Amino acid sequence: MLSFIVKRLLQVIPLLLVIMTLTFFVMRLAPGNPFASERQLSAVIQQNLNRRFGLDRPIFYLSVQESWTQFDPDGNVEYVNRSIFRPFDPPETRSFALVRWNGFDNQYNSYFFGRYVADDTTKARNWEWGVIGGNFGPSTRFTDARNVTDIILAGLPLSLNLESSPTSSRFASGFRSA
Amino acid sequence: MTRHFAALAAAVAAALGLQACVTAGAYFGATTPPTDKTLIVANQSEPRSLDPHKTAGVPEANVMLNLYDCLTTYDPQTAEPIPCIATSWEHNADASVWTFHLRPEATWTDGNPLTAEDFVYSWRRIIDPATASPYANLLYYVKNGEALNDGTAEDLATLGVRAVDAHTLEVTMERPTAFFVSMTPHYAFTAVPRQAIEAHGDRWLAPENHVSRGPFRLVKRTPYDRIVIEKWDGHWDAARVQLERVIFLPIEDQNTAVSLYKANEVHVLAGGGQSVPTAFVKALRPKLDFHVEPEYGVYYYSLNVNRPPLDNKLVRRALAMSIDKKAICEKFLGGGQVPAWNWIPPKTPNYPYPTPLQYNPEEARRLLAEAGYPGGQGFPKIEIFFNTLESHRQLAELIQNTWRRELNIPVELNNQEWQVYQRTRETRQFDIARDGWIADYLDPNTFLDLFQAVTLNNHPGWANAKYSKLLDRANSDPDPLRRLSLLAEAEAILLDEMPVIPLYYYASVKLRKPFVEGWGDNPLDQNPLKFVSINEAWTPEAGQAH
């Protein structure tokens, strides 16, 4: 019985990844975006919001890069980064890289389906773990301090409490509209 | 599915149960005033953010209005700007440079003085494309605002705002803007605390880090539960403030809000728009604590003036004149909406409203014949587009029937999902499109400006040189009354050309306990809580006599 439960729990991991990937593509391929409301935003403001939440990047981008150090004509050390394999050309440099070859660069960060592996939207560091590391990125619903992880953590104890009580299972989920 | 069922069940229960309970008494539900000076407000939904630069919603505005004083604030009765942080202001001859004199005694909750530099910092922050503020466009009236926000200019120091000294703020406009002061109560123009943002980054909004400077300060915030604000004694206007505490509850379901109100667990259903389900409106109408006021917003149909047969002014006027808007508001909508014949909603102070068209189906048929379609003959099929929502559909069906009956013309309906619909409207792939505009500030310019040039929000694609020139002249005119009469002339052109058919003005429909005093019913639905109080001595007898 125990091995059955453990096996099932382990099976959840790849399943979740598949669901996340499918959800990502469904959401990104559908028209519109999370900021649409009755109040119509101007194109410029929409574009600024997209950039802030990383929605301006292409959906899929495969790139293998190499980096090395060299001296510039003044004798200063400079880091050079070059994409050596890039079958799909992104419209701008801020985009997803499926594989990162070497990591000295500041311009290129690695993404796997947006922020599922890594995320640089916070700009605090060059590299941050994405969903796999428990970082769900900034919330598009709550545009201030909180990121999605905080919202889940705030709501989870209450949800667990309610879910475990026999009378009620449908109130106040911490995941609601995050 | 479950949600629809729940809503339906609630509506049925409401119609059967609650409505029956509405009958007795002059007021709806319990009216015992609380004795702890605590006002409880049903605030629609959970605010997305309390950062004035990161949100554009109504529930957010209801809270922020009391946390961050602006240069001016709203007069609770008229929504006109009255002095707040700015004690006085003036502008140069053509209203292209404005100077605001700030109150020297105003401070932040952390004790730092509030200076003109704080405003400079804030206005640069909201216009910065990296902030991605949904309300950045209000700052486009300030010199270089649009260029900085769309990235064509990069140096934020070139924004037309300058601290002349610690308490004098000078604003240079992109072009003459005589109505600028009417925008300044809006939270887009407030100041945010640089010291807290630099110390805590995005975490500055946590109650323990939060620095504000309004009559109230944030003490508690539990997502999907409540926001609590309390009177701040250090405020420059603290002597005026009567309430000790205000609790904002995010109640999305209107039936729940109404039930809580009835039980006196909630004292005010906050705007904007309709906060009471339509099913209740008729039963609640006679109650003294039920309030209906026209809002500064209009529901209208955009007519694509570049497509025949709507390129013909006579056709547009015929379509407009054949609609019985009074019947729409009274018999169909029934939520206190007001029939719209003018483009500018009522209650604009000192505005000389031009005389609009009237409902006249006879004249409409004559105009249609004059346009070359006698009795509707030869009139091509036209389509009304709307975004998927039952109330939009019902109204479109009603108008479809009206035009078939009165003008004998073929009309089809076409509904689209919101995101698709937005694109349809922007690219003008329609004959007639449902539309709405709700003002951010109390000035006719917010409505007339839509047709200044053929821009994104000018859905009919209508432009008129004389109209644009009148707007330019008006907005550089320092004389307020002359300016308003120039705007009225421009509106008269619009009403004559009829690129839009105004259908009704939105209404704010509210419940408010009779012991809540100082709450004005102004057209922008903005009520600074420093003017609001709870009358603990209130009794139904006193209320009736009143």
Confidence of residue B164 (pLDDT cuts 50, 70, 90): very high
The model's pLDDT over A114-164, given as tens digits with 9 standing for 90+, comes to 444 444 444 433 445 556 666 666 676 776 656 677 777 777 777 777 666
Q: Average the pLDDT over B90-99 and give the result.
A: 94
The model's pLDDT over A122-132, given as tens digits with 9 standing for 90+, comes to 443 344 555 66
B442 and B375 within one domain: yes
B300 and B255 within one domain: no
Question: Does pLDDT of B271 surpass 80?
Answer: no
Picking from B48, B56, B205, the nearest residue to A141 by CB comes out as: B48
**Is-contact B230 B520, C-beta < 8 A?**
no
The model's pLDDT over B229-268, given as tens digits with 9 standing for 90+, comes to 999 999 999 999 999 999 999 988 888 999 999 999 999 9
More confident residue, A175 or B27: B27
Chosen for mutation from A28, A37, A38, A44 (greatest number of chain B CBs closer than 10 Å) is A44
Residue A145 domain flag: yes
pTM for this prediction = 0.80
- Considering its fold, how many domains does chain A have in total? 1
Chosen for mutation from A45, A56, A152 (greatest number of chain B CBs closer than 10 Å) is A45
Confidence of residue A88 (pLDDT cuts 50, 70, 90): low
Structural domain span for residue B516: 27-67+214-289+512-546
**Is-contact B39 B177, C-beta < 8 A?**
no
What's the pLDDT at B546? 47
The model's pLDDT over B117-159, given as tens digits with 9 standing for 90+, comes to 999 999 999 999 988 898 998 999 999 999 999 999 999 999 9
Choose from A134-138, B52-56, B135-139, B506-510 the range with maximum mean pLDDT: B135-139
Is the Cβ pair B149, A44 closer than 8 Å? Answer: yes
Structural domain span for residue A154: 139-178
Confidence of residue B543 (pLDDT cuts 50, 70, 90): low
Picking from A36, A41, A145, the nearest residue to B202 by CB comes out as: A145
SS (H, E, C) chain A: CHHHHHHHHHHHHHHHHHHHHHHHHHHHHCCCCCCCCCCCCCHHHHHHHHHHCCCCCCCCCCCEEEEEEEECCCCCEEEEEEEEECCCCCCCCCCCCCCCCCCCCCCCCCCECCECCECCCCCCCCCCECHHHCCCCECCCCCCCCEHHHHHHHHHHHHHHHHHCCCCCCCCCCCCCC
* Rounded Cα gap, residues B537 and B451, in angstroms: 52
Give the CATH number, domain containing residue B108. Answer: 3.90.76.10
Q: Average the pLDDT over B495-509 and give the result.
A: 93
Confidence of residue A92 (pLDDT cuts 50, 70, 90): very low
B185 and B38 within one domain: no
B232 and B156 within one domain: no
Sign of the C-alpha dihedral computed for residues B103, B108, B111 and B117 taken in this order = negative
Residue B209 domain flag: no
> How far does the CA of residue A157 sit from the closest CA of chain B (Å)?
13
Is the Cβ pair B456, A42 closer than 8 Å? Answer: yes
CA distances from A83 to A164, B94, B264 (A): 52, 55, 66
Cα B56–chain centre separation: 11
B263 and B196 within one domain: no
What's the pLDDT at A93? 37
CA distances from B462 to B157, B422, B497, B521 (A): 36, 18, 9, 34
Cα–Cα nearest to A154, from B221, B250, B223: B223
Confidence of residue B376 (pLDDT cuts 50, 70, 90): very high
**Is-contact B504 B339, C-beta < 8 A?**
yes
Helix or strand run (H / E) with residue B339: strand B338-339
- Strands B97-102, B168-172: pairing is antiparallel
- Considering its fold, how many domains does chain B have in total? 3
Q: How many CB pairs under 8 A join A and B?
A: 80
Tell me what the pLDDT averaged over chain A comes to: 62
Residue A8 domain flag: no
Give the CATH number, domain containing residue B444. Answer: 3.10.105.10
- Strands B533-534, B226-231: pairing is unpaired
B205 neighbourhood in chain A, CB within 8 Å: 144-145
| Cβ neighbour number for residue B246 with a 10 Å cutoff | 24
| Cβ neighbour number for residue B157 with a 10 Å cutoff | 10
Residue by residue, DSSP assigns B125-190 as HHHSTTT--TTGGGGGGBTTHHHHHTTS---GGGSSEEEEETTEEEEEBSS--TTHHHHTTSGGGS
Q: Which residues contact A97 (CB under 8 A, 6 or more apart)?
A: A61, A62, A63, A65, A108, A109, A110, A111
Give the CATH number, domain containing residue B285. Answer: 3.40.190.10
| Cβ neighbour number for residue B162 with a 10 Å cutoff | 17
A40 neighbourhood in chain B, CB within 8 Å: 422, 456-457
Is the Cβ pair B418, A32 closer than 8 Å? Answer: yes
Give chain A's radius of gyration (CA, Å).
20
B241 and B229 within one domain: yes
Question: Does pLDDT of B5 surpass 70?
Answer: no
B150 neighbourhood in chain A, CB within 8 Å: 44
Residue B223 domain flag: yes
B185 and B36 within one domain: no
What's the pLDDT at B205? 87
Question: Does pLDDT of B36 surpass 60?
Answer: yes
Q: Flag whether the ipTM exceeds 0.85.
A: no
B400 and B436 within one domain: yes
Candidate from A91-100, B52-61, B296-305 with smallest mean pLDDT: A91-100
Helix or strand run (H / E) with residue B398: helix B390-407
Choose from A69-83, B190-204, B309-323 the range with maximum mean pLDDT: B309-323
B475 and B529 within one domain: no
Question: Does pLDDT of B1 surpass 60?
Answer: no
**Is-contact A67 A105, C-beta < 8 A?**
yes
> Over pLDDT 90: what percentage of chain A?
5
* Rounded Cα gap, residues A108 and A119, in angstroms: 11
B501 and B520 within one domain: no
Chosen for mutation from B1, B49, B203, B420 (greatest number of chain A CBs closer than 10 Å) is B49
Tell me what the pLDDT averaged over chain B comes to: 90
Q: Which residues of B touch A (CB under 8 A)?
A: 46, 48-51, 54-56, 129-134, 136-137, 146, 149-150, 202-206, 223-224, 417-420, 422-423, 436, 456-457
The model's pLDDT over B447-485, given as tens digits with 9 standing for 90+, comes to 999 998 887 789 999 999 999 999 999 988 888 899 999
More confident residue, B37 or A168: B37
B146 and B78 within one domain: yes
Look at residues B151, B174, B201 and tell me which one is the last residue of a structural domain: B201
Picking from B133, B146, B205, the nearest residue to A145 by CB comes out as: B205
